[in-house]
Chain A
Amino acid sequence: MRCKWCSNPESQKFETEEMVVNNQTRVVGKDMTVEEVMEIVDKDRAYYRRTKGGLTLSGGECLNQPEFSQALLMASKQSMITTAIESMAAVKYDIIEAILPYLDQFLMDIKHINSEKHKLYTGVANELILENARKVAQSNMTELSIRIPVIPGFNDHPDEIKDIACFAKDIGNVSCIHLLPYHRLGQDKYEGLGRKYPMTDILPPSSEKIKGLKAVVESNCDIECKIGG
């Protein structure tokens, strides 16, 4: 997937990349083993206990490295550390099914219910994503939250948000909906990577707008809705 608003463009390729940060060229990303990652995770265990935190695999797309993700989640559960992933679930369900036993929380991106518009902005259609969301919800094996990055001009119309809320209600077992207002925090990274920022003209949505969308969610389903994540 290549979302135009991606704020971590350095994680879109599988290889480590060179990025210019503060006028210095740095290698971003590092190849690590499960053991190496777990050693770092373990250092902050005492904090997780107090803040109900744990290990979260986030973007890029962790399910593009299924074996590694599964191994990390397993290791984490073995150490009694809670687990979560942030993912758009655009992979074969087999891959998701394999990690569910080791996953406490699935933070799943649902960006749009209309497949064509989805494809236009992200490069892929959404059928697989929606089907996987339904399956995860029905599996009842993990706590499912739906996250909506609210992008002006793409999905910020009340009806578009309403469609997602209704979908969440329909599949059941969704514990929370997060509205994530678009931000431009990744812009400099594009320059650092020598790429063009595709959304130069788009301004972040106002907080009134976001509050209005929250009300839309709440009036269409009885799922808790949070701004930010």
Chain B
Amino acid sequence: MKKYNTTVEPKSERITRLVDRMFKDMPEVESYRAVLLTESYKQTEDELAVLRRAKAFAHVLENIPVVIREEELIVGSNSTKPRGCQTYPEYSNKWLEAEFDTLATRSADPFYISEESKKALSEAHKYWDGKTVSELALSLMTPETILSIDHNIFTVGNYLYGGVGHVTVNYGEVLAIGYNGIIQKTKDAMAKCDISEKDYPEKCAFYDAVITSCEGVITYANRHAKLAREEAERCQDETRKQELLQIAKNCENVPANGATNFYEACQSFWFVQQLIQIESSGHSISPGRFDQYMYPYYEKDIKEGKITRAFAQELIDSLWVKLNDLTKCRDLGGAEGFAGYGAFQNLIVGGQTPDGVDATNDLSFMCIQASHNVFLPQPSLSMRVWNGTPDDLMVAASGLTKTGIGLPAFYNDEVIIPALMSRGLTLQDARDYNIIGCVEPQKGGKTEGWHDSAFFNMCRPLELVFSNGMDNGVLVGKQTGDMNNFKTFDEFYTAYKTQMDYQISLMINSNNAVDKAHSIRGLNPFQSCMIEDCIGRGKTVQEGGAVYNFTGPQGFGVANMADSLYTVKELVFEQNKITLEQLKKVLELNYGYGVNEEAAKNISPEDKQLCENVKKWIDELPKFGNDLDEVDLLARDVAYVFTKPVEKYKNPRGGTFQAGLYPVSANVPLGGQTGATPDGRLAFTPVADGVSPSAGKDVAGPTAAVNSVSKMDHFIASNGTLFNQKFHPTALDGQSGIENFISLIRVFFERKGSHIQFNVVDRDTLREAQEHPDKYKQLVVRVAGYSAIFVTLSKSLQEDIINRTELTF
């Protein structure tokens, strides 16, 4: 008999309606949490920070409006209206106020906010002046660090203005013993403490805080039970009445106690997932290995005939809908860097058990099906792939990829497990990893990973080499000397490394300042009670309570840097076609286009000619992404210029730094602050994302790009790497399309790539590609019995393919 059942359960009509209702209106910012939080803080001024946090959390849960949305089976919403959000003034009370009036009209993630809410928030914000995490963090940074942030070399805005999040808690434990069980565990730990211990008072405060938080959560669930019973009483529809009574029964038992069946497990899971996001604004609260910790409940119910597969699918689909109900309102910069309202709740299927056996089960398939059924961006569905991953699961995943939803992302056990072990995880823990947020691996329930701690733009230090450390008339970098004195490429490269080392050290300073501020003002006792070994150590994750502690800043622009350095090496030092001085001039003139229209007019004909020549020579050089060693190995090397220094540093929680190579969507806004680069990239255009080749520079097909990217060292970037590929849906047509696709993933992983994801584009994009072929140079389409790069095809063929797409969709 097969180890798993792959039967497809289609979506119920209820799910269609739930999704439709959720997207009717623009999401709204609500003021309930901020007002209640402030109310509580005003009453606890003389108490320890950790207790104040817990009391405020409980106060919010006891009083925030509870709602049961029409027809839903799983309850618990952070906002009264769909996709709304609460605010978190304890982290930063300034940006929201400043953006009140532009929130609804901005292009990235607009939110509606009522005049009433503005007033209530303004009132609450007054209390927080001088008391926020961000103010404390900034006061802890050195002036040089703040200067570099102001000059856009890197940004730490993510945790400077909000909670950290980026965690997978021990969902399995809550499902098994409930918060009553955790309260008991906490009391046991407290009882074992020695009163004479030096940190006994703080430990006790932490334990009290955990108990207060858990009690608040139980109260919150009971409020839903009560509401469900009230609504049931009023309900005319008998079916819905029974559903509401079932919801009430569920909420009376979980999450207070262990779940007794799959439905309760789903509801319990949901309260955990939702309420971590009430305690703090941190995003990327990642459900992790849902198919593993939920499976025992599913298996038992199915075996005992207590649930049908169809209803189990509807429950999972319902959770998927709920995951899209949670949004985060970020400041403008944050919204551009994390565009799409996403809460980055990463949920992963497949992979291995802690004992190294394939972990695929029925739920792995049902999770993939849920993304088909619900067809929304959350959860960020991921899949672990190892040498023993069954092809059935690969085929199911490919089917989802083919829909164009961009899910799942694929992760390579064969790289990530050893990479995590190199950072000190045990073999069993490493095998049990999941993904946080975008691409960051951690052992859930044991880690405070501080992934996503900074965006570091690797192109900016290159600009500092050309300017001897100056940026806009201010000394921001190191004085690496007049570039005209560089006699060899190595001297030039060394200067770049010097600039990088210095900026990295400043980035570390800023990360540690923010980290420290969270450990003083941003404690999260509720989240901490679900992370080992906080209860054992008697402290929050912010203070170093977790077993594993990391800080993970991410660099991006590797491809631009590889291509840029190759330009310098070839054109300046090998072929002697231009001097560094000339190259600098060309960059300043933005390859003849000027940095703005005015500047463009003032370029002399001689300079224009120089720019044209240089651009032509650059375009003729090999580029990263085409399976050419001469430039691919430079990419590998320049990635080390970021990843190697980073791993030397320590964080305040007793852990180490580990680098990532991925940009979320920040390569676009931060590229907008970067001048022209020697790879031919124009000023203010996006820089390359993650470890992918620069857009349009990989022209030798998907396998060549895969081969190039796999030449980088993905092990050292243990905070995650990101590789994007674009395909047309027809590239995955038929059995051979799927086989080729799976083989592409398998080969990339054989060659020790860590992550790969696919954009399977639609006809609108193809239209766009026709108009702007330069931007879509690597878009692969399936033609007849073969695949080809779209923009290299004739107009008539392009039309043919576009028409075909219209038939398919």
Contacts and interface: CB of A to CB of B under 8 A. Distances in A.
Interface of A: 21-22, 43-44, 46-47, 50-51, 183-185, 187-189, 192, 228-229
Contacts of B740: 47, 51
Interface string B573-606: 0000000000000000000000000000000000
Contacts of A22: 773, 791-792
Nearest to B706: A47
A228 B784 contact: yes
Interface of B: 627, 703-704, 707, 736, 739-740, 742-744, 746-747, 750-751, 773, 783-785, 791-792, 794-797, 800
Contact of A43 (B704, B742, B785, B794): B704
A229 B786 CA distance: 9
A196 to B, nearest CB: 15
28 contacts: A21-B794, A22-B773, A22-B791, A43-B627, A43-B704, A43-B707, A44-B703, A44-B707, A46-B747, A46-B750, A46-B751, A47-B740, A47-B743, A50-B739, A50-B746, A50-B747, A51-B736, A51-B740, A183-B784, A184-B796, A184-B800, A185-B784, A185-B794, A185-B797, A185-B800, A187-B796, A192-B794, A228-B785
Which of B704, B744, B783, B794 gathers the greatest number of chain A CB atoms within 10 Å?
A: B794
Contacts of A21: 792, 794
Given A185-B783, A185-B784, A185-B800, A47 B747 contact: yes
A78 B557 CA distance: 41
Contacts of B704: 43
Given A185-B794, A187-B796, A50 B743 contact: yes
A189 B794 contact: yes
A27 to B, nearest CB: 14
Contacts of B627: 43
**The 3 nearest A-B residue pairs measured at CB:** A188-B794, A50-B743, A46-B747
A56 to B, nearest CB: 10
Nearest to B743: A50
Contact of A187 (B739, B784, B794): B794
B804 to A, nearest CB: 12
Nearest to A50: B743
Given A50-B746, A228-B785, A188 B703 contact: no
B135 to A, nearest CB: 54
Given A43-B704, A185-B783, A229-B785, A51 B794 contact: no
Interface of B is mostly: helix
Contacts of A188: 794-797
Nearest to A187: B796
Given A21-B794, A188-B796, 5 more contacts: A43-B707, A47-B703, A47-B740, A47-B747, A185-B783
A187 B742 CA distance: 33
A116 B18 CA distance: 67
Contacts of B751: 46
Nearest to B744: A47
Nearest to B801: A185
A44 B746 CA distance: 13
A228 B751 CA distance: 32
B790 to A, nearest CB: 11
Nearest to B739: A51
Nearest to A44: B703
Contacts of B750: 46
A29 to B, nearest CB: 15
Contacts of B742: 50
Contacts of A229: 785
Nearest to A229: B785
A43 B704 CA distance: 8
A47 B745 CA distance: 10
Nearest to B746: A50
Contacts of A185: 783-784, 794, 796-797, 800
Contacts of A192: 794
Contacts of B797: 185, 188
Contacts of A187: 794, 796
A12 B231 CA distance: 78
Contacts of B736: 51
Which of B627, B750, B797 gathers the greatest number of chain A CB atoms within 10 Å?
A: B797
B808 to A, nearest CB: 14
Contacts of B783: 185
Contacts of B773: 22
Contacts of B800: 184-185
Nearest to A226: B785
A18 to B, nearest CB: 16
Nearest to A228: B785
A28 B800 CA distance: 23
B698 to A, nearest CB: 14
B370 to A, nearest CB: 29
Contacts of A228: 784-785
A64 B797 CA distance: 29
A85 B743 CA distance: 23
Contacts of A51: 736, 739-740, 743
A208 B381 CA distance: 40
Contacts of B739: 50-51
Nearest to A58: B786
A57 B773 CA distance: 30
A47 B705 CA distance: 13
A51 B739 CA distance: 7
Contacts of B744: 47
A192 B797 CA distance: 14
B295 to A, nearest CB: 30
A58 B654 CA distance: 62
Contacts of B796: 184-185, 187-188
Contacts of B792: 21-22
A188 B794 CA distance: 6
A183 B799 CA distance: 13
Contacts of A189: 794
Nearest to B740: A51
Contacts of A183: 784
